[in-house]
Structure 1
Amino acid sequence: MTEQMRWPAIVLVVVSTVVWGMLFGPFLWTEPLDLPMGLAVCGPAPLLIREVVRRRGGGWPALMMFGAGFGAAQYALVGVISLAGLQNVPGGLHYGEPFCLTWVSALGYIAMYAVWAITLPILLTELVFGDRRSQPWLRRTGIVAAAAVLVVVDSLVICAIWALPWAIDRQPPAFPLPVRSLGVAVMAAVLLAAGWWSTTALRGRGESVTAPAPAAAMVGLVALAGSSAWLGINRVADGELPIPAVLLCYLLLLMGGALLIRRWLSRTGFDDRHRLACYAGALAGYVIDQSLMFRPTGVDLAFDVAVCVVAVVLLWRLGKIVR
């Protein structure tokens, strides 16, 4: 790997690690299962997805769909197993949807991967290396090594989950594991196929229009509001709204966000400052949501504050660089 290719790949891993720490907090470094999962996302997954998309000339829609497909695959391999039997535990998750899965929870998990864990680190890193935004960052040996690490880490996580006592002590769900994983696995295959198709069929920028781009601060606030709305639906809807209504809200937000981003990209004057504001707003929405939900204290709070300070400093420095 040449010097020109090495640094973007290293920075992407660093940015992914910081973002992952913002998403999942200090237990990334303390829980034995979350550490390898974090490494799987921080390292090979964003690198591989970016290589596939950029080598085929794809844009942000392909990154999102590949990220969603990867999230669905992770949920099928890990999430379905780790949540086994919770529908029979007082205060646990409420099952009863098709294939005995919490589809609202699954969609939240998939969206977290698609937007925050995969796409945002890639786009943030590409802002740093704007002149190499569309170029490959890995050679064939790097792609093979990243894929091998991802397979090994996921295999270890699955084995570790099966080894936990609670994975076998709880009352089994109504459907066996293969059936419960089937629905999400099919969704993962469809999303990955859609991502492959979109690398050539869809582009990130529509035809230019004469309307000026909104202010960068406005873009950031809209991204903050949109991410907060997406994350807040699951909090408000828990046991209060029927599943179809929740899924419809998700669909409307997804379509509205995609159309708005495409419209912004087509306006004159929409530059990297606007992109940075959009990414920062989405990250801030997730951090605020997690802080309100978990209300960390003590060491957890100190860790969260430290990670957020590092993230703010990095974003501030990046804002000085981009045009």
Structure 2
Amino acid sequence: MKRWAVGLFFLAPFVGEFLLGNQPIGKLGSIFLFAPMYGGGAVLIREVARRYGLDWTGIVLMALAYGLLEEGPIDQMLFNPAYVGLDSFDGMAVIPGLGISLTLLQGTVTLHTIWSICVPIALIESCAPREPWLRRGGLITVAAIFIVGSSLLGVMQAVGLHFVASAAEFIGSAVVILGLIALAFVLGRRTPRPADGRVPRPLVVGLTAFAMTSVYWLESIVFPNANEWVSAAWWFVLLGAATAIVLRWARRRTWTPRHTLALATGALLTYAWAGFSQARELDHPSFLGNTAFALVAVALSVFAWRRQPA
């Protein structure tokens, strides 16, 4: 069963960096640089969740903690305007009293929680046994790889950008991250009583996921000059609507693993088209490269669905 852990180890950075369009196909070899952080984090979250009986609520909360860890203490993007090529976070909805950008925080929460962690886990897990894939020794090895790889990336970022966050920023982010992990163990073990009612077909669930995640990306593409606070408010509206819909469906007795896979597939296909826009925004557009990544995403989705029982 280790092969499933290896698959998740490399799928997470593929989705998080290459399918998104952050990295061009010419730098595909750098997946080995990103895998210890992305893949190590995804495998750890999945294995811990299954070992300790946490449901998807626990996975989502730990994925949120991972996103804040990556863009906080590791990359320090949330604290360093120069990371995004700016002199300050002015014009990016700065949170009063904290000096960090709400715009970047919302992006971190969205991209890493949904795509870097939850989508890869859902895709691989739909093909594999639900029980833990690794023994204790394997889990310790992955944890060590994650810690060492993330630390090296953090040092590279600090040296390359000549920036180190303040002690208060490190401590504050650590408190929030640990709090989310603790909350994952509390809420992830609570099994709500299943509700009656029908769930739409997986196709409808998938299309809904694709539509809502696409709307998230289209907002910044269609309205690039929108007021930052209006965009921030719109994010909360969209998040609230999506959460309400998914929770309403997922708590019903007729919800199945096929519906979970449908959610992941819809979100994955959004990245398949958004990667073209993201690559162009980062000035390394490659139609052939992004097309290749999108085709891989489609192939993975087809493979996952073919392994699902009817």
The corresponding residue for 2:205 is 219
Aligned to 2:27, the other structure's residue is in SS state coil
**Superposition pairs for residues 111-150 of structure 1, below 5 Å?**
111-129=110-128, 132-133=129-130, 135-150=131-146
The corresponding residue for 1:22 is 19
The corresponding residue for 2:106 is 107
TM-score of the superposition, structure 1-length normalised? 0.80
Maintained 8 Å contact 2:89/2:100: no
Which of 146, 152, 159 is the equivalent residue of 1:156? 152
Matched letter for residue 173 of structure 2: V
Please report how far the alpha carbon of residue 59 of structure 1 lies from its aligned counterpart in structure 2 after TM superposition: 1.1
Maintained 8 Å contact 2:22/2:278: no
C-alpha distance 206-71 of structure 1, shift in aligned 2 (>3 A): same
- 1:182 and 1:136 map into 2 onto residues whose CA distance is 32
TM-score of the superposition, structure 2-length normalised? 0.83
Matched letter for residue 127 of structure 1: S
- 2:198 and 2:83 map into 1 onto residues whose CA distance is 51
C-alpha distance 292-299 of structure 1, shift in aligned 2 (>3 A): closer
Could you list the per-position Cα deviations for residues 130-159 of structure 1 after superposition, in whole angstroms to 9, with x for gaps in the alignment? xx21x1111111111111111111111122
* 1:260 pairs with 2:245: yes
Please report how far the alpha carbon of residue 251 of structure 1 lies from its aligned counterpart in structure 2 after TM superposition: 3.2
Which of 162, 178, 181 is the equivalent residue of 1:167? 162
C-alpha distance 302-83 of structure 1, shift in aligned 2 (>3 A): farther
The corresponding residue for 1:74 is 70
Please report how far the alpha carbon of residue 46 of structure 1 lies from its aligned counterpart in structure 2 after TM superposition: 1.1
Quote the sequence identity (%): 22
C-alpha distance 91-76 of structure 1, shift in aligned 2 (>3 A): closer
Please report how far the alpha carbon of residue 312 of structure 1 lies from its aligned counterpart in structure 2 after TM superposition: 0.8
Unaligned ranges ≥5, structure 2: none
The corresponding residue for 2:235 is 250
The corresponding residue for 1:187 is 176
Which of 288, 303, 306 is the equivalent residue of 2:273? 288
Unaligned ranges ≥5, structure 1: none
Aligned to 1:159, the other structure's residue is in SS state helix
- 1:44 and 1:227 map into 2 onto residues whose CA distance is 25
Please report how far the alpha carbon of residue 247 of structure 1 lies from its aligned counterpart in structure 2 after TM superposition: 4.2
C-alpha distance 10-158 of structure 1, shift in aligned 2 (>3 A): closer
Q: How many residues matched?
A: 304
Please report how far the alpha carbon of residue 265 of structure 1 lies from its aligned counterpart in structure 2 after TM superposition: 2.5
